[in-house]
Structure 1
């Protein structure tokens, strides 16, 4: 199986309580009900961004650095870049589900209001 943006979005939207949205003006997939983004295009060619807890980010980078990585922009944040050209697309799809679950358990995004 080959991964691309359309495939990972379709997988994410097939998970419970998910919806299309945007994040910083880019397409994203969010948890319906709390507004938390768990999948976005990312800031690197050939990759997308998964929003997931920092412990999991570190574990993924250590166990498969060819697939999971961070640029300086993401360092220290609960987000990891994932290369579409992975040797283990099934694990990537499973991690999308885990990211959805982690974000579903987080509190609802608070409105920033107007300045």
Structure 2
């Protein structure tokens, strides 16, 4: 697993779009980020609710983790070298579905 595989998978989901988030590559659904690139080598950022973040960190800390930068935010870092890639793919789908279920983001003024 690598960034290109994650990016392509997330972008292939219904209603997903390839875009940017804070200047880096990302996929979004309904205007909300799903996966974004991460500064931390060997990982990408998955945008998912805080309860799920905590559950993922508790059940598989070797795959799902956070730096202080992400603590308290609805986002978790995911290591590409996961022992359970099927769970990673399923979690990306879960984050995507949750983004689609949210009220669409309104465009910012001037864009």
Residue aligning to 1:20? 18
**TM-score normalised over the length of structure 1:** 0.91
SS in 2 for 1:22: strand
Q: 1:33-61 deviations in whole A, cap 9, x for unaligned?
A: x2111100123111000000111100000
The Cα shift of 1:64 comes to: 0.3
Unpaired segments ≥5 residues, structure 1: none
Rounded Cα–Cα distance in structure 1 between residues aligned with 2:12 and 2:18: 11
- 1:1-115 matches, within 5 Å, as 3-31=1-29, 34-113=30-109
**TM-score normalised over the length of structure 2:** 0.94
Unpaired segments ≥5 residues, structure 2: none
SS in 1 for 2:6: helix
SS in 1 for 2:55: helix
Q: CA RMSD in A?
A: 1.1
SS in 2 for 1:13: helix
